[in-house]
Amino acid sequence: MTHLRFLQPLFAALLLACSLPALAAYDIGQLMNDLSRNKGGRAKFVEKKFLAVLDKPLVATGEMTYTAPDRLEKRTMTPKPETMLLEKDSLTLEREKQKLTINLASQPEALAFIDSIRGTLSGNRAALERNYGLHLSGSAEKWTLTLLPSDQKIASLVQRITVSGNRGQVRQIEYLQADGDRSLLAIEPVTTP
């Protein structure tokens, strides 16, 4: 509706900065190569959020489905059902009968943030290096990729993203937010078809 359209940026801006899962190498090139061969699949996830303001961590569980190269669906089952769908440049959130679609192209900072997930999952090194400095440690069987934002605007949202996994499969993503709060996303693939 017209009169309220101007408020959209508000909504969208407030929604940015959400936590999203990602995938990652030994030699970055090899890792990217392995990641890009992963054409997708289904996985269970457990996400723990450690917030300074809360006495206990928050735990959310559910399932996520990745379809290469740019479709990621995250279905939270507990504590409240919620669906997040990232498809190309659009991010859709559905919760309690409410549906919100955000066009990421209109939000360059959000896009850069989303690119950290998308770039990792699809093994797109160029996309990742556009906004992050990449550091890889470990072996092919157990690697850890650290993403450090090179852009100040992104750094104001997230300090560090740490992705770990084996070969082309991402197993865990840790977000360290700018304010020190942290979230840990553990991913358990459900039989790769």
186 residue type, one letter: A
Q: Look at residue 58 and give its three-state secondary structure.
A: strand
Among 53, 141, 191, 193, binds another protein (CB under 8 A): 53
The secondary structure of residue 22, as a DSSP letter, is: -
106 touches another protein by CB under 8 A? yes
Task: Give the CB-side neighbour count of residue 14, counting CA atoms within 13 A.
Answer: 5
**Chain residues 1-20 in contact with another protein, contact rule CB under 8 A:** 1-20
Instruction: Pick the piece of the chain touching another protein (CB under 8 A) from 24-32, 103-111, 127-135, 137-145.
Output: 103-111
Name the residue nearer to another protein (CB basis): 29 or 59.
59
Q: Look at residue 35 and give its three-state secondary structure.
A: helix
Among 27, 88, 105, 139, binds another protein (CB under 8 A): 105
- Nearest distance from C-beta of residue 60 to another protein, angstroms: 4
- Nearest distance from C-beta of residue 96 to another protein, angstroms: 9
Among 68, 93, 127, 155, binds another protein (CB under 8 A): 93
* CA nearest to 12, candidates 113, 97, 80: 113
Cα 86 versus chain centre, distance: 10
Among 88, 95, 130, 142, binds another protein (CB under 8 A): 95
Among 27, 29, 37, 54, binds another protein (CB under 8 A): 54
φ, ψ of residue 73 in degrees (nearest 5):
-120, 130
152 touches another protein by CB under 8 A? no
What b/e readout covers 156-174, taking b as 16+ CB neighbours within 10 angstroms? Answer: ebbbbbbbbbebbbbbbbb
Question: What CA–CA distance (Å, rounded) separates 52 from 77?
Answer: 24
Where does this chain bind another protein (CB under 8 A)? 1-20, 47, 49, 51, 53-56, 58-60, 74, 76, 79-80, 82, 84, 89, 93, 95, 98, 100-101, 103, 105-108, 157, 181
